[in-house]
Amino acid sequence: QKEVEQDPGPLSVPEGAIVSLNCTYSNSAFQYFMWYRQYSRKGPELLMYTYSSGNKEDGRFTAQVDKSSKYISLFIRDSQPSDSATYLCAMNPNFGNEKLTFGTGTRLTIIP
């Protein structure tokens, strides 16, 4: 069993919809949780970074962490065609963000 599980999709939603992306994990030592966005033929770029349980909001993006359930989510409000990409969750037990453990990524398409 992988340490981090993520539904690979693909996920297609109409423009303006709320998107929910999720990951589950098995390692209770994970404390730092990240979401990356990867466009085709590009490297991943960091979207959100949270520590321990709770919510964090940044514009149209909200990250949630529930450590008791070992479950993290990324919500995208008012989705735009430019949000079409692969979204990767990543996590780390330590303060340093090297040696991240990634999910396999969810491919998201926003339909105009």
Partner 1 sequence: KAGVTQTPRYLIKTRGQQVTLSCSPISGHRSVSWYQQTPGQGLQFLFEYFSETQRNKGNFPGRFSGRQFSNSRSEMNVSTLELGDSALYLCASSPTGSGGHQETQYFGPGTRLLVL
Q: Which residues bind to partner 1, rule: CB under 8 A? A: 6, 32, 41-46, 49, 88, 90, 94-105
Q: Which two tokens stand for residue 49?
A: 């970074």
Minimum CB distance to partner 1 smaller for 17 or for 70: 70
- Least distance to partner 1 from the beta carbon of 26, Å? 15
Contact status, residue 63 vs residue 71, Cβ threshold 8 Å: no
Minimum CB distance to partner 1 smaller for 3 or for 53: 3
Minimum CB distance to partner 1 smaller for 17 or for 100: 100
- Least distance to partner 1 from the beta carbon of 48, Å? 9
What's the DSSP call for residue 77?
Answer: S
How many other C-beta atoms lie within 10 A of the C-beta of residue 25?
22
Residues 6+ apart with CB under 8 A from 85: 37, 38, 39, 40, 107, 108
- Least distance to partner 1 from the beta carbon of 6, Å? 8
